[in-house]
Amino acid sequence: MNFAALGISVTSKRDLGSLVEYSFGLPQGTEDRVISELLTNMSDASELSVLDPTSGDCALEAKRKGVGYEIKRGCHGAYGVWRAATLAEAHAWLLPGALASVRLARPGFGATLVVPKVGN
């Protein structure tokens, strides 16, 4: 994933064994396009999450699964159930959180992308 091409500066990169987690903020004014690009270019089993604008303890999440997507609302201690979604549904699901993250999160935070390591 070429974050720089999307105007994203990664704040942190963590090795999670078979996964890599990137934390970043979304560029203000381009949230719609950036969420679309991230979803379109996610590899299978990658997960994108943004703030849940209705609860600071939760996140809106989308996962690439084969040729489709799954979405859920994840909260600390209470994990939602993944449900099937199209690209358009995943985009619509994440966009309110993406817009809120620009307003509410500290600079450089508000979104997370977890991807499988290449070769796994």
- The answer as to whether 89 is a domain residue is yes
pLDDT digits (tens, 9 = 90+) for 64-117: 999 999 999 988 766 778 999 999 999 999 999 999 887 876 676 789 999 999
Residue 83: both structure tokens together: 């449900």
32: helix, strand or coil:
helix
In a domain, 53, yes or no: yes
Q: Is residue 5 part of a domain?
A: no
Our count of domains for the chain comes to 1
Assess if residue 70 is contained within a domain.
yes
Specify if 88 maps to a domain.
yes
**Domain contains 3:** no
Q: Is 7 inside a domain boundary?
A: no
Q: Band the pLDDT of 119: cuts 50, 70, 90.
A: low
Domain that holds residue 58: 12-116
In-domain check, residue 92 = yes
| pLDDT tens-place string over residues 45-68 | 999 999 999 887 889 999 999 999
Spatial neighbors of 35 by CB under 8 A, at least 6 apart, are 26, 48, 50, 91, 94, 95, 98
